[in-house]
Amino acid sequence: MPPVKITTQLLLSGIAGVLLSAQIAAAQDCTPKHQFTTIEPGTLTVAVTTYVPHSFIDDSGNMKGIDGDIAAEFAKRECLKVKAVAVDPAAAIQYVLSGQADITTGDWYRTAERAKVMSLSAPLYTDQMAIYSKDGFTTVADLEGKQVGTVQGYLWVADLKTLLGSSLKLYPNSVNMQQDLFSGRIDVAVDGYSTGVVAAQKGALKDVKVNVAASDERVKATKEAAQAAFPYATNATELGVALDAAINEMHADGTIVTILKSYGLDGTAGETGAPRLVE
């Protein structure tokens, strides 16, 4: 029998076959920890809002942020691909309710009102109240007797109104508040800790220091910060079971703290306590 002539095409074909076999074997080696259905079989579809550092899509089209990394880790542990869909925050919840996405990312609070229309995963982390000042204030007592600004909609607003009265000024967003802080129109500001970390990383806070507020009985948010979660459809019961199990595992093995620290946070937001709803 004459010798076989191996052509370049035959060699490449063989290599491709080996690679394909390896990919198939790798896929078969991945065993999901739970059985549940998703909108698109084998894929976790995520409605991704832009809210740095919690949720965004990078220049390569990859889902990122604290929520995004946790969701990606969940998908990995359940042998799922990730399909990230960029959405406006105002439309994200509707994407889930209408069956266009399995979950959504974006620091979504576990609230009693939201729980009436959809399910909420186990807590991912807490959204900590922080004090922004040039003096490095850390306590609620530091706010007394000063002109203080904060952003509308946060859990601590009502308590600060009671405590500070007319000395508290409300802003529609963080940018306007920070401008007044820099110019001296307010002495100190109160905002989310993660928002301040991102602004500081970008050099936007100048000489302003950001510190998590110490616990104070007068401001409930300093004792029980809002817990963030993944919202999902109420009929996706099995998905919820898998999400909760994975999130609890990621708390136990340190994954969530590692993710928080990778975005510049100190990791204490991972100490969520027992699941609760904001009334």
pLDDT tens, position by position, 141-170: 999 999 999 999 888 999 999 999 999 999
Clarify whether residues 119 and 235 are in a common domain.
yes
Q: Answer with the one of 201, 223, 245 that is the final residue of a domain.
A: 223
Nearest Cα to Cα of residue 70 among 251, 191, 226: 251
Clarify whether residues 240 and 165 are in a common domain.
no
Nearest Cα to Cα of residue 71 among 277, 254, 257, 243: 243
Percentage of residues of the chain with pLDDT beyond 70: 90
Clarify whether residues 135 and 218 are in a common domain.
yes
Domain limits for position 48? 43-126+226-270
The two tokens of residue 6 are 């191996």
Clarify whether residues 50 and 120 are in a common domain.
yes
Q: What mean pLDDT is reported for the chain?
A: 90
Clarify whether residues 140 and 162 are in a common domain.
yes
What pLDDT is attached to residue 170?
Answer: 97
**pTM of the shown model:** 0.81
Nearest Cα to Cα of residue 227 among 131, 132, 115: 115
Q: Which run of H or E residues covers position 23? A: helix 8-29
What pLDDT is attached to residue 28?
Answer: 55
Clarify whether residues 203 and 92 are in a common domain.
no
Clarify whether residues 47 and 114 are in a common domain.
yes
CB 227 within 8 A of CB 107: no
Clarify whether residues 218 and 81 are in a common domain.
no
What total number of domains does the chain contain?
2
Per-residue pLDDT tens for 232-249? 999 999 999 999 999 999
CA angle, residues 251, 256, 261, in degrees to nearest 5: 140
* CATH of residue 118: 3.40.190.10
Residue 157 lies in a domain: yes
Query: Does residue 2 carry a pLDDT above 60?
Result: no
Clarify whether residues 118 and 232 are in a common domain.
yes
